[in-house]
């Protein structure tokens, strides 16, 4: 490990947060494509961008993967595909602010998952913080319901997106013990892209015929939030703790909301402000109360 970073890792984290905050905005901008098609091309282009590095540096590792890890990769890729479908679809019904805040509840679902599957125990602080985040999400959902039932439906899809990405992370937690980040990401992205390919074929979605601008958004999704954002987080981990990175990710809804206001003209309602603030505060408390626990993964990699 280098003793001194080539540049300030906190600046890298800030850039990373801005990069992942663009994800929901780019999905909205690619609005003439369906959620399944946006998800497919995001992962398809990501796999294409990773392919040269995989062929040059990681061929031997891929050949040595065990059957068990291939099974986990298949399930993980399925959950990732389902996450993108649900989350991207939610953006068709509710605002960026509501959707991103609710998807950011993933650490709560991850901790619940570790409780049931790995025997983790809840501290009193963790339980209190979870109730705080649930209160915030209820305020957001109730406010959206006052706007329209479809907005509430979008909130539900976003929450389901948080649940499914938790399955992706819990399975990935097992795989990452045996595989490098690049190999793991390439395989899971590839399986997820194949899953989305089948999904779109079944729904008879058109794979071509999009505007040139939409193709640009597809590629931007593969590059900006997927590689630029998460690669910077992974790089910063050499000098910063996981808890620091996790805390930074909590600011993603804020960044996404600001970008949605200036780029998409979305106005945040009072219930979204109140509920979102409560959720972010609860997540801060939750992460602080769980960072010292072993084996609890507040995952930030590859999600957005």
Mean pLDDT over 245-269 rounds to 84
Residue-wise pLDDT for 121-165, tens only, equals: 767 887 888 888 888 888 888 877 777 778 889 989 999 998 898
pLDDT band of residue 289 (cuts 50, 70, 90) is: confident
Mean pLDDT over 195-202 rounds to 96
d(CA 106, CA 166): 6
Q: Structural domain boundaries of the chain?
A: 13-290
Let me know: does 222 contact 54? Beta carbons within 8 Å. no
Question: Where is 176: in which H helix or E strand?
Answer: none
Least confident of 1-10, 87-96, 196-205: 1-10
Judge whether residue 299 has pLDDT over 50: no
Let me know: does 175 contact 72? Beta carbons within 8 Å. yes
**DSSP assignment of 186-218, as one string?**
HHHHHHHHHHHHHHHHHTT--SS---HHHHHHH
Closest residue by Cα to residue 90 from 137, 134, 155: 155
Judge whether residue 300 has pLDDT over 50: no
Judge whether residue 53 has pLDDT over 70: yes
Most confident of 2-16, 30-44, 113-127, 255-269: 30-44
Residue 4: per-residue pLDDT: 61
Residue-wise pLDDT for 64-86, tens only, equals: 888 888 998 899 899 999 999 99
Residue 295: per-residue pLDDT: 42
Q: Which residue has the higher pLDDT, 303 or 188?
A: 188
Radius of gyration of the chain from its Cα atoms, rounded to whole angstroms = 19
Angle, CA of 106, 26 and 247, to the nearest 5°: 35
pLDDT band of residue 185 (cuts 50, 70, 90) is: confident
């Amino acid at each position: 490990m280098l003793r001194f970073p080539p540049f300030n890792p906190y600046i890298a984290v800030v850039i990373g947060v801005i990069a992942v905050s663009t994800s929901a905005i780019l999905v909205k901008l690619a609005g003439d494509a369906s959620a399944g098609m946006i998800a497919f091309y995001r992962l398809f282009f990501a796999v294409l961008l990773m392919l040269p590095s995989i062929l040059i540096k990681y061929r031997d590792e891929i050949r040595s993967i065990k059957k068990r890890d291939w099974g986990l990769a298949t399930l993980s890729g399925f959950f990732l595909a389902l996450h993108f479908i649900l989350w991207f679809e939610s953006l068709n019904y509710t605002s960026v602010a509501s959707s991103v805040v609710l998807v950011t509840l993933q650490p709560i679902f991850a901790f619940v998952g570790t409780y049931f599957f790995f025997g983790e125990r809840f501290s009193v602080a963790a339980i209190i913080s979870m109730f705080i985040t649930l209160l915030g999400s209820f305020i957001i959902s109730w406010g959206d319901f006052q706007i329209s039932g479809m907005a509430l439906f979008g909130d539900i899809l976003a929450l389901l997106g948080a649940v499914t990405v938790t399955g992706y992370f819990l399975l990935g937690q097992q795989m990452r013990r045996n595989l490098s980040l690049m190999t793991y990401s390439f395989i899971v992205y590839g399986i997820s892209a194949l899953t989305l390919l089948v999904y779109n074929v079944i729904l008879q979605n058109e794979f071509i015929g999009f505007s040139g601008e939409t193709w640009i958004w597809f590629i931007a999704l593969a590059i900006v939030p997927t590689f630029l954002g998460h690669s910077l987080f992974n790089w910063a981990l050499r000098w910063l703790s996981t808890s620091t990175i996790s805390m930074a990710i909590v600011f993603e809804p804020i960044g996404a909301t600001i970008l949605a206001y200036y780029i998409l003209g979305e106005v945040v309602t009072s219930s979204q402000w109140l509920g979102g603030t409560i959720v972010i505060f609860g997540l801060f408390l939750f992460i602080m109360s769980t960072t010292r626990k072993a084996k609890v993964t507040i995952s930030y990699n590859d999600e957005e």
